Amino acid sequence: GVFRAMAELSLSREQCRKQIIEAQVLDIIVRTLQHPRVGVRAASCECVRSLSRSVRSLRTALVDAGVAKPLYALLGDTEPYVQFLASATLCNLVLDFSPMKEELLESGSVARIVALLDTDSAKLRLNCIWALKNVLFLAKSDLKQRVMAALTYERLVRLARDSDDAVRVQAMTLLRNLVYGRAADVEACMSGIGSAALREILADALASGNEGVVTQALYTVCNIATGSADHRAFVIDDAIIHPVLQCIESETSDLRVAAIWCVINLTWNVEDDAALRVGQLRALGCEEKLRAAEADNNVDVRDRVRTALEQFSQHVPSMDE
């Protein structure tokens, strides 16, 4: 009862979390994560989960207290609720702490998380894909490769088409993280999934009607467009670029901003293909859409429009075009 009370008090109160940590009871909480009674393990895990929602400096105390190893072990617990709590806690911890990311891989816990992705419980699938998405946030290429060796691109494709929209959003965000960084990261993902399958996933996501799914699909396209000329040519495909440009006129400002970022990355003058992309986008009516958005009521949209139009202005069509 004591741990559940602490969990409840610290669930949404930062001051309570701070007081629990300052009371130096973390070692006891961490030890009871391995208690033989299911109810005690669950209550301890609930407490750790509440504390893990704290600011980064306080979450550091959890990591320093050695929470990682027993928490990973709970992913294989016989009680589904304990597995749920452990996976939810991992979501909060692996984002900030690279040592935990490494330990997650070294302990074999990624395989446990991946196994739980095949569960019938949408809530558990959500926690697990969320945790892996956070592991891959700003990850280096070698870490991406190691995670995908366990997750597999085939499973990622299934999750990107999950019947639960919340799971689908996180799967698309994981995909966004995979193609962030270098052209080699984009190429690895395109090779792993296959260009045709990736195009279909993105087209389906952009047409899903779910704001979260569409947003993450747009930023995935945005990241792909930072790759090579071939990757930008992939984005210009009708199945992708048409729904992207339609989002410039969306009623949702977040979608408008994301879509214009796609245009900016497509026309950024990093290689010799910028003039070609500007011409292709002009032919699709992109410049007119941008002009219409110059007076948008959202400052972020206006700023992005300004940048995009500046790049268009560097490639004025000749009189015979």
Task: Specify the length of the chain in residues.
Answer: 321
Q: Which two tokens stand for residue 28?
A: 């006891």
Which pLDDT tens digit goes with each residue over 195-249?
Answer: 999 999 999 999 999 999 999 999 999 999 999 999 999 999 999 999 999 999 9
DSSP string, 256-284: HHHHHHHHHHHH-TTSTTHHHHHHHHHHT
d(Cα 48, Cα 46) in Å, to the nearest integer?
6
Question: Which pLDDT does position 101 carry in this prediction?
Answer: 80
Q: Are 132 and 147 in contact (CB under 8 A)?
A: yes
As a whole number of Å, the CA-based R_g of the chain is 23
Contact 136, 143 (CB under 8 A): yes
73 has a pLDDT exceeding 60: yes
Q: Give the tens place of pLDDT for each residue, 253-276.
A: 999 999 999 999 999 976 678 899
Query: What's the mean pLDDT in 113-120?
Result: 94
Tell me: pLDDT of 320 over 60. no
pLDDT exceeds cutoff 70 at 5: no
